[in-house]
Structure 1
């Protein structure tokens, strides 16, 4: 690892319980890649409402393990990295300039329950 790389943690860390140290997984790679490397994360996120709580319950029963985290908890997994704009947001809102984004063109629609459940973010090692 002499040149910057991309570390992709897509749909991984939400399967790692707190006692298994998901932040340690990120920290390991952060400490072993050179400056200028990027980290992409997607993660199940807590929606803090009855609809997403129900979806979380269904998925938890299906997978049998894992941890849904708040945006702040997801961001804390990227400790020591610079989280780039637009930050930790629902994955469908991550690139607001895309034509299929529900917030684009002034036509806003409500995100679905499932869209609220998946967050994404990009960070860079300084």
Structure 2
């Protein structure tokens, strides 16, 4: 049942199709990063997760930093000029295309998310350089075939040339029964040799007690959160060649300054090339 405007004063500002009675991961993440595109239910869920993992906001910021480092590597060193970013979230400057096009203005990016709030901000995601292009597709990762067949993707990306597929802090929303590895295979099979796959994924490996508490809080609030161990995340890269330093804590992936404790953010991160 939807909340009334007296229960949630932001309800009247909700775009059509937004259910403010249940939390959404993109809006919870937005709240962690200090954004304003979230509702009472998202803030409640975000606070419950922060109560379980007090440094969770810092971890969300580390994920953003990884996106920027990986994008710079892919464009400047690997020569990639095309990105497919699934699980985009609410726009946060600099966005992926901002970082990539600052190095190579001709870079093309397709963003994908299933939250109507993200759709409402799609214009910010499509603010491309004249030489490049940025597009948004409102779709669900659980239906990879629909994403690949979308006219906007086909008009923006040339699937005969390398594409960087980025799945940042999104696979945690898929249960094992959703077959995340199979979803990745479907997407990967459509991409040519020389493409790349970037993943960050929360894990219980570094602090099982806190992560267990976070899973319990998410479950209680009606949100899926599936942390995975290192070997489970590594299997998602099956058949791809990991770029140095391999699958490591997110803070340890080609950092600008080596962290004193790389396991302070409970995420594995990796970037791999399709042979």
Normalising by structure 1, what TM-score? 0.80
CA contact (8 A) 2:252 2:262 kept: no
Structure with bigger gyration radius:
2
> In 1, are the aligned partners of 2:251 and 2:262 still within 8 Å (CA)?
no
Structure 1 pair 110/7, CA: closer, same or farther in 2 (3 Å)? Answer: closer
Distance 1:84 1:62, change over 3 A: farther
Instruction: Give unpaired runs (5+ residues) of structure 2.
Output: 1-158
Paired position in structure 1 for 2:65? none
Provide the C-alpha distance between the structure 2 equivalents of 1:71 and 1:88, rounded to a whole number of angstroms. Answer: 8
TM-aligned CA deviation for residue 61 of structure 1: 4.2
Match of 2:241 among 77, 82, 87: 82
Q: 1:39 is paired with a residue of what secondary structure?
A: strand
| Counterpart selection for 1:38 from 180, 193, 196 | 196
Per residue, is there more helix in 1 or in 2? 2
* 1:1-126 correspondence runs (5 A): 1-47=159-205, 49-62=208-221, 64-96=223-255, 98-99=256-257, 101-102=258-259, 108-109=260-261, 111-112=263-264, 115=265, 117-126=266-275
TM-score (norm 2): 0.39
Distance 2:267 2:214 in 1: 11
Name the CA shift for 1:58/1:37 in 2 (closer, same or farther; >3 Å): same
Question: What secondary structure does 2:183 align onto?
Answer: helix
Aligned length: 116
User: Please, which runs of 5 or more residues in structure 1 have no aligned partner?
Assistant: 103-107
